[in-house]
Chains A and B, each alone.
Chain A
Amino acid sequence: MSQLEFEKPILEMESKIAELRHVSNGSTINIADEIGRMQSKAQKLLQTAYSKLTAAQKVQVARHPERPHFLDYVAGLITDFTPLSGDRNFADDQALIGGIGRFEGRSCVIMGQEKGHDTDSRIHHNFGMARPEGYRKAQRLMAMASQFQMPIITLVDTAGAYPGKGAEERGQSEAIAKSIEKCLRTDVPIITVVIGEGGSGGAIAIAVADRVYMLEHSIYSVISPEGCASILWRDGAFAGEAAEALRLTAQDLHGLNLIDGIIAEPLGGAHRHKEETIRDVGVQIAKALKDLTPWSGQDLIKKRREKFLSYGRAL
């Protein structure tokens, strides 16, 4: 498992426990008591560490490579998932994946950024940084959702839209802008969960939804703390301060009433309990879907607009 600095004492404890278990298997000495004591100590360490994560630490957890990613959620929540490729204009973008399938038996469209889980897949998915083709595929899928009156689930996990020459040539700005516009015009329920990193325009392009939730240790921001620090502090080393100032944690944003809710993660974060996390995300999506189902298409559009218009007005 990749290490986070603040998790080191916990990981050390966990490896000691594993070692002891291994020893106890091979011998007759009963050290179950010792293991039990150490486990509860490790649990306490986790509790204290995770009960007061700083913004900078949350950024680390949100980006943890072992966190469940888009395809893990699809595998856990969607049956008959059928990925659909291409924007019908230029190319397919594997950074932003989407398709049709069934969520709890109901036909739906699901899409989101996939970061990949090892070197090969990370390169294949361009580290979850979509190009214009990705956002145009998203628009295409939203149109399809509307055509067949299927709700849309979007899972956000990206450092941001890809900053490349080709991406600029093919209109990254226009692709993102049109994707936002498409979200606003779509007459089926849209539910968004930020599962890891919500990075700026590349994230909000598919997150203009009727319900926007964030996992407990996910982040959502207009700019990365590193980028913000290098611009405003003129030194990337101030990323910690920037993370704090940007108010990018799920708790901050919920406090500002800019998201609809937080999905709690099991103790120690999603990277320790993938299945449980995925299940809980599913429960929240099901709840939201139930709330939104009675609304007509025109009502959805109207209320979505009103909701986004209201942001910031009460602050």
Chain B
Amino acid sequence: MNWLTDFIRPRIRSIVGEQKEMPDNLWQKCPSCDGMLFHRDLEENLNVCYHCNHHLRITVKQRLKIIFDDSEYTRIELPAVAHDPLKFKDRKKYAERLKEAQSKTGLKEAITLALGTIGGQKAVIAAFNFSFMGGSMGAGVGESLIKAAQTAVKEKAALIVIPASGGARMQEGMLSLLQMPRSIIAVEMVKDEHLPYIVLLTDPTTGGVSASFAMVGDVHIAEPGATIGFAGRRVIEETVREILPANFQTAEYLQEHGMVDMVVSRRELAETLGRLLNIFMQALSAAPENDNTQDNAKGGKALTSKKAGKKDVKSSTKVLAKTAISQIKAVQKAAGDFQDAKKKPTAKKAN
């Protein structure tokens, strides 16, 4: 600080008038490369920095528009739950925080449910809103995941969950912890029917959310650079007292360590999801009719449907091969993933 900044600059300002800040809704800085991003260009680029390919967070609305065919989908109403059964209060009442989040976002809860088609295949998407209390999972979110699963079963649709969440909503105490098994039960409902369950891990997926439904998908897709992990980076640094690698707990790091099948950029997301769903769903439709009861799903019929499924993947690969050479590789790779994923029901039978 010197006379220049302390004295001269304020004087000049008082003469010229306060410099106008650029309206922040027009331009923003990329948090990764500091490049300036014009809002319209950024939106057109699906909220991906056009200088460095950094994936900025995206609203659920934008996300659904990108993924669903023709950007069309039906919203599924969220189930009603008892909010704030603990009457939790920290420096502020949880009930107030909840209301604030609702009026800030115009949403009822930290999750949105939608039904539509992706690559021509029916799918239910449950997408977390990070701007709603950090996307935290309480009874409202857990119950919504159950409803999403039930809808997927009813519609014979795939279930895609897109977490963007710091973890459990601690203002709901034990009730929020119980959403971990509850959300996994939701997934079980879908798996019982042999419907595909795909997780799209977005920034961030941590804590109780990562340690439940987010890690039991048939396929795990992650967005580039997304933070995914159980414990927070700071907690770990304090515990182990060592500097963690820069890419620690990123999507790429998780893929390297075998927890994520693929890291897919936002531009290729819809195509990837569509391809996966088509492979899975074609396998299912080629399978001999099975009456979809829980007991049957574990019996011999499931085994035959599995075999038939494999055959179908091969034939569908052939069909697609005609269209483009590049697609062959992709489908074969996905078919490999598919066969891996399909091993799961076998493991289940061993129980």
A residues with CB within 8 A of B: 143, 146-147, 161-165, 167-174, 176-178, 180-181, 183-187, 200-201, 204-205, 208, 220-223, 228, 231-233, 238, 241-242, 245-248, 253, 256, 258, 298, 302, 305, 308-309, 311-313, 315
Provide the B55-85 mask, 1 if CB < 8 A to any CB of A, else 0. 0000000000000000000000000011001
With A177-B213, A233-B91 in contact, do A208 and B181 touch (Cβ < 8 Å)?
yes
Known: A173-B215, A177-B210, A312-B82. 14 other contacts (CB 8 A): A165-B240, A172-B211, A176-B211, A177-B212, A177-B213, A177-B215, A177-B216, A180-B181, A180-B184, A184-B188, A204-B180, A221-B174, A248-B174, A315-B139
Cβ–Cβ contact A246 & B170, under 8 A:
yes
Q: Which applies to chain A's interface (DSSP): helix, strand, loop or mixed?
A: helix
A197 to chain B, nearest CB (A): 13
Cα of A305 to Cα of B212 in the assembled complex, Å? 15
Cβ–Cβ contact B230 & A172, under 8 A:
yes
Cα of A158 to Cα of B215 in the assembled complex, Å? 22
Among B89, B188, B236, B295, point to the contact of A168 (Cβ < 8 A): B236
B13 at the interface (CB under 8 A from A): no
Chain A residues, Cβ within 8 Å of B208: 200-201, 222
Cα of A311 to Cα of B81 in the assembled complex, Å? 11
One of B123-131, B241-249, B319-327 at the interface: B241-249
Cβ–Cβ contact B230 & A178, under 8 A:
no
A257 to chain B, nearest CB (A): 10
Among B90, B228, B236, B257, point to the contact of A164 (Cβ < 8 A): B236
B residues with CB within 8 A of A: 81-82, 85-86, 88-91, 139, 142-143, 146, 168, 170-178, 180-182, 184-185, 187-188, 207-208, 210-216, 228-232, 235-236, 239-240, 242, 244, 248-249, 257-259, 294-295, 348, 350-351
Cα of A201 to Cα of B208 in the assembled complex, Å? 6
Q: Can you spell out 20 A-B residue pairs with CB atoms less than 8 angstroms apart?
A: A146-B351, A163-B232, A165-B244, A172-B211, A173-B229, A176-B211, A204-B180, A204-B181, A223-B168, A228-B170, A233-B90, A245-B88, A245-B90, A245-B173, A246-B86, A246-B173, A247-B173, A258-B178, A298-B295, A308-B181
- For A223, the closest partner residue in chain B by CB is B170
Cα of A309 to Cα of B350 in the assembled complex, Å? 25
Cβ–Cβ contact A315 & B184, under 8 A:
no
- For A188, the closest partner residue in chain B by CB is B351
With A241-B90, A312-B175 in contact, do A168 and B229 touch (Cβ < 8 Å)?
yes
With A173-B210, A201-B208, A258-B175 in contact, do A178 and B185 touch (Cβ < 8 Å)?
no
Cβ–Cβ contact B86 & A165, under 8 A:
no
Cβ–Cβ contact B257 & A169, under 8 A:
yes
Cα of A178 to Cα of B213 in the assembled complex, Å? 9
Chain A residues, Cβ within 8 Å of B242: 165
With A143-B351, A232-B170 in contact, do A171 and B258 touch (Cβ < 8 Å)?
yes
Cα of A176 to Cα of B229 in the assembled complex, Å? 12
Chain B residues, Cβ within 8 Å of A312: 81-82, 85, 139, 142-143, 175, 178
B167 to chain A, nearest CB (A): 9
Among A161, A171, A176, A184, point to the contact of B257 (Cβ < 8 A): A171
With A163-B235, A165-B242, A170-B257 in contact, do A201 and B214 touch (Cβ < 8 Å)?
no
Chain A residues, Cβ within 8 Å of B178: 204, 258, 308, 311-312
Chain A residues, Cβ within 8 Å of B235: 163
Chain B residues, Cβ within 8 Å of A161: 211, 230-231
With A163-B231, A177-B213, A228-B170 in contact, do A308 and B182 touch (Cβ < 8 Å)?
yes
- For B210, the closest partner residue in chain A by CB is A173
Cα of A250 to Cα of B178 in the assembled complex, Å? 15
Cα of A246 to Cα of B40 in the assembled complex, Å? 44
Cα of A315 to Cα of B235 in the assembled complex, Å? 33
A209 to chain B, nearest CB (A): 10
B166 to chain A, nearest CB (A): 10
- For A135, the closest partner residue in chain B by CB is B211
B216 to chain A, nearest CB (A): 5
Chain A residues, Cβ within 8 Å of B187: 181
Cα of A180 to Cα of B213 in the assembled complex, Å? 10
Cα of A167 to Cα of B236 in the assembled complex, Å? 10
Cα of A219 to Cα of B320 in the assembled complex, Å? 57
Cβ–Cβ contact B351 & A168, under 8 A:
no
Chain B residues, Cβ within 8 Å of A238: 90
Cα of A187 to Cα of B228 in the assembled complex, Å? 32
Cα of A171 to Cα of B249 in the assembled complex, Å? 10
Chain A residues, Cβ within 8 Å of B174: 220-222, 246-248, 253, 256, 258
Chain B residues, Cβ within 8 Å of A222: 168, 170, 172-174, 176-177, 208
Q: Which of A168, A187, A223 lies at the interface centre, i.e. has the most chain B CB atoms within 10 A of its CB?
A: A168
Cβ–Cβ contact B231 & A172, under 8 A:
yes
Cα of A258 to Cα of B239 in the assembled complex, Å? 32
Cβ–Cβ contact A245 & B175, under 8 A:
no
Cβ–Cβ contact B207 & A201, under 8 A:
yes
A213 to chain B, nearest CB (A): 14
B43 to chain A, nearest CB (A): 32
Q: Which of B143, B180, B228, B294 lies at the interface centre, i.e. has the most chain A CB atoms within 10 A of its CB?
A: B180
With A177-B216, A233-B91 in contact, do A309 and B295 touch (Cβ < 8 Å)?
no
Chain A residues, Cβ within 8 Å of B244: 165
Cβ–Cβ contact A231 & B170, under 8 A:
yes
Cα of A146 to Cα of B347 in the assembled complex, Å? 13
B193 to chain A, nearest CB (A): 15
